[in-house]
Amino acid sequence: MKIAAEIQFASSSQDLPSESDIEDWIRETLCEGGRDRAELTVRVVDEEEITSLNSRYRQCNNPTDVLAFPHQLPGEIETDLLGDVVVCAGVVNEQAIKYQVDRQAHWARIIAHGILHLLGFDHDQPQSTLVMETAESAILSRLGLRHPELHGHAS
């Protein structure tokens, strides 16, 4: 497996996962998506940056937990570049507290969720939501974690 992952910490939060944990989550997610080669960036940010991105790209002027920006090149160009995942530390940590779920499992799920979007997964329809949740559960299971949204709260 050849993965080039840039992990950027641009958050003032002190309660962040380790770089090695994020690397493990990336690797497991790419395995689940059938990728043995990939380039991507995972950027951990504060509410101000995620709100700005959410407003600019989704016309939602509020913070969110994760945004995925798939890299788009013309179809005839082959590349391992998947894109960027931006995660808001404050939102993810607040969700873990609010929903009373394991913080580590929640972080893993959110990062896996963003990467799955880069791989083409979505949750626009009930069937695609089930496929994505099943993939998330498989990833977390291999990591020794439980899917917090399926075992802790109803969203």
Per DSSP (E only), the strands in 66-128 are: 66-70, 81-88
Q: Which residues pair with 9 in a beta bridge?
A: 44
At 108-147, the pLDDT tens digits run: 999 999 999 999 999 888 898 899 999 999 999 999 997 7
- Its domain, for residue 88, covers 2-142
Domain presence at residue 66: yes
CATH of the domain at 130: 3.40.390.30
pLDDT of residue 148: 72
Do the domain assignments include residue 123? yes
Domain-located, residue 147? no
Count of domains observed in the chain: 1
Q: Which of 135, 44, 151, 155 is nearest to 101 (CA)?
A: 151
Whether residue 74 is predicted with pLDDT greater than 90 in this model: the reply is no
pLDDT, one tens digit per residue, over 9-59 is 999 998 999 999 999 999 999 999 999 999 999 999 999 999 999 999 999
The Cα 85–Cα 9 span in angstroms is: 12
